[in-house]
Amino acid sequence: MAEHIISLKGVTKEFDTKNGKVVALKDINLDIEKGDSYGIIGLSGAGKSTLVRTINLLEEPTEGRVIFDGNVLTGLKSKQLNLHRRKISMIFQQFNLLMQRDAIGNICFPMEIAGVPKAQAVEKATELLKVVDLEDRAHSFPSQLSGGQKQRVAIARALASDPEVILCDEATSALDPKTTRSILKLLRQINEERGITLVVITHEMEVIKQLCNKVAVIENGEIVERGDVQEIFAKPKTKAARRLFFPDGKNREKPSGKTSTKNRLRLVFDEANAYKPIIASMILETGAPVNFFYADLDVLGDKQKGQMVICLSDDKELAEKQKEYLRKEGVEFTEIEEEIEEVTE
């Protein structure tokens, strides 16, 4: 049985505001296993940043328990809590580097706080700069670094305390797509090669697809769906998950002709059937045409997944034959009852 490194048990967080009490988190129960790259995704205001801050007790829950590596953190005094926090590092959207220190100085900072001798700290920081591919920028200050380089320094700083867990709070949101891909590749390498558990807070589905093996969807302060990324990508059960995992409809024309836009299926293809002419064969066998709404190829971790939204025949009998053909061919599909909503932040 896999070992849980983080467990949240009945965690609720309330804030008192001038307009009354605000419930940011409602009865959160979540288990994260050692070695996971666990994504927590939701739209703005869903509660995901509050959730990640309860993991290391930067936010004290109003109710519930936070358990790290078998130890209950809630209720600990500051000295005891700080000992456990050394094993939980964090990287942020805005990097949070010390502007008056160069790259190696920023990486040394947490080691200085922990009382590591200077020579030992510098040696370790130099090695970590190699890990993040920045050994030639050791003496560059944050103002001399690009966004991606700043985040690499922040990642090296996070590694300096030999953490068991790294919390990533929207760590790529301030970066361009190319830089984001390189940072996600680095984080995935750290997760796989060092066995460090990642908890990834994001509103970006591409981050989940490229980096995470598990995901929890948060909406209005509640976890509404959780599981393996591959499974939820194939068959999201809740409207919140479908809103995030389904295509967003940007710049796409609605199907033309007599086929109803309400009679839609989202198909998911894996590597075994992605290259088969399944739709063409289905049309030939059933004698019923389809309209194409959307098609795309995604990479989830190291696996390719194709998805397609099609509109079936208006004729119920023909539409059922089309579905039966897809089942026979082993194609996973979900019937889309609600409108596909565009995800905005």
Which has the closest alpha carbon to 264: 317, 328, 314? Answer: 314
How buried is 12 (Cβ within 10 angstroms: 0-12 exposed, 13-18 middle, 19+ buried)?
A: middle
- Is the pLDDT at 253 greater than 70, yes or no? no
Position 212 pLDDT exceeds 90: yes
For the chain, the domains span: 4-240, 246-336
Q: What is the per-residue pLDDT across 73-90, written as a single tens digit (0 to 9) for each?
A: 998 888 889 889 889 999
Please state the pTM of the whole predicted model: 0.78
How much is the mean pLDDT over the chain? 85
Of the candidates 168, 174, 52, 160, which has an alpha carbon nearest to the alpha carbon of residue 111? 160
Domains 4-240 and 246-336 share a fold: no
Q: Which of 57-61, 152-156, 250-254 has the highest mean pLDDT?
A: 152-156
- Position 174 pLDDT exceeds 90: no
pLDDT digits (tens, 9 = 90+) for 138-157: 999 999 999 999 999 999 99
The tokens of 17 are what?
């505001």
DSSP secondary-structure letter at 83? H
| Chain centre to alpha carbon of residue 73 | 24
Cα separation, 344 vs 328, in Å, equals 37
Work out the average pLDDT over 156-160: 95
Name which of 214, 210, 203 is nearest 39 in CA terms.
214
pLDDT at 68 over 50: yes
The pLDDT of residue 249 is: 40
Task: Specify the CATH superfamily of domain 246-336.
Answer: ACT domain (3.30.70.260)
Q: Strand runs (DSSP E) across the chain, as ranges?
A: 4-17, 20-33, 37-41, 63-68, 71-72, 88-92, 165-169, 197-202, 214-219, 222-228, 264-269, 291-300, 303-311, 332-336
Better-scored residue on pLDDT, 100 or 236? 100
CATH of domain 4-240: 3.40.50.300
Order of all β-strands in the sheet with 4-17: 20-33, 4-17, 63-68, 71-72
| 232, pLDDT greater than 70 | yes
Question: Residue 104's pLDDT is what?
Answer: 95
User: Which tokens is 202 given?
Assistant: 């994001």
Cα–Cα dist 196/260, whole Å: 49
